[in-house]
Amino acid sequence: MTERPVRDRGAARHEVETRAMESFEARFRERPVVVASAPGRVNLMGDHTDYAGGPVLPMAIDARTAVALRPSDGAVCEIESLEFGACLTTGAIADFESRAHDAADSWLNLAVGPLRLLSERAIGGAPLALPNLRAVIASSVPIGAGLSSSAALSTAMTTAVLRLVDRAVEQWPLIDLLRDAEARFAGTPCGIMDMTVALAAEPNSALLIDCGRRTIEPVPLPTELALLLVDSGVRHALGDGGYAARRAELAASAHDPRFAPRARHVASESARVHRAAAALRAGHLAELGALAFESHASLRHDFEVSVPECDRIVDFVRDQGDAHGTFGARMTGGGFGGSVLVFAARAQLNEARAFLHDGVRAGIGVAIREVCAGERYTAGLERGPT
């Protein structure tokens, strides 16, 4: 049996949290009170099944988004994003309104939108009267790559503020709030997968989440499995309407035969999720890879959310990869761009990397990276000299 490489799962968290904290001190000349972070995710199987009440099989990754913040005595909130290179001001959180989805400041929808809902809803007690904030956001989750940078940001910001005001909120109401905020403020009528994995991830495991029954079961990852992401180079924005259109088509499929393929995808993909979880438990990696190819074909033809750039990566792995230690590939995330997840044998990881790099040099994808299982969100008081 191949041993899993020794990794400090906290290293990625500490790096991004430290960057947020140090940047906060540099900008505001004081220490933050709370530092929180949350992971991105990669979905092994089960795209566009969560909002249909079906199962999904994601895992948290070691790329994270961190928020450092403290209350402000000023009349506005000041929020800096290091990745977007901007420090923006907003009025009171309770008055926040959605920014245009294609605007340069639209990332505020994910950072502040959930806080607006916290100020409106009585979850974990009465609605919160939130103070104005100073905050700095740092992230290692690629934006638009299908790795749920949006949920990582909204989860990190929301859990940081909850820790700041010392309010405990149960997991499922918090998941619902984060989902509703993404729909209301970012224009993405998503399901609960991304928020759930950010809040409930388990070490070295995927999560089998039944989104209808609201159950979560950790599925340990075999040590023989390696996961590589190939970036297609096509950036998606799920708030631009394509995602919402597919969800509407799925809802209409019971009455309109034109959309029957949408329902067929959800049914077949839900079955694949359970088969993939069983294959992981049994260490049947060849079966897992075959399911990945089937999943991509369904997303490509029945749900029509893939793009040619992703298709070329999957075809490259399917046609040539078996001799190089790769045995499955599928687009991951909501679609319309992003990344392809490639399943590889850890014993042949270097060979698999070289094979995929050859593809990138030939114009099949733009970059590759290994993804490792990450840890769930953390939110704590920052201690030390002020």
Name residue 89's beta-bridge partners. 78
- Do 197 and 311 form a contact (C-beta atoms < 8 A)? no
Token pair of 147 as six digits: 């790795």
Question: Which residue of the set 194, 256, 311, 319 is catalytic?
Answer: 194
- Do 216 and 196 form a contact (C-beta atoms < 8 A)? yes
- Do 231 and 16 form a contact (C-beta atoms < 8 A)? no
| Known active-site residue 194 | yes
Burial 192-226, CB ≥16 within 10 A → b, else e: bbbbbbbbbbbebbbbbbbbeeeebeebebbeebb
List, as one string, the DSSP characters of 297-355: HHHHHTS----HHHHHHHHHHHHHGGGGTEEEEEEESSSSS-EEEEEEEGGGHHHHHHH
- Do 137 and 20 form a contact (C-beta atoms < 8 A)? yes
Token pair of 103 as six digits: 């605007």
Q: Which sequence positions are flagged as catalytic?
A: 194
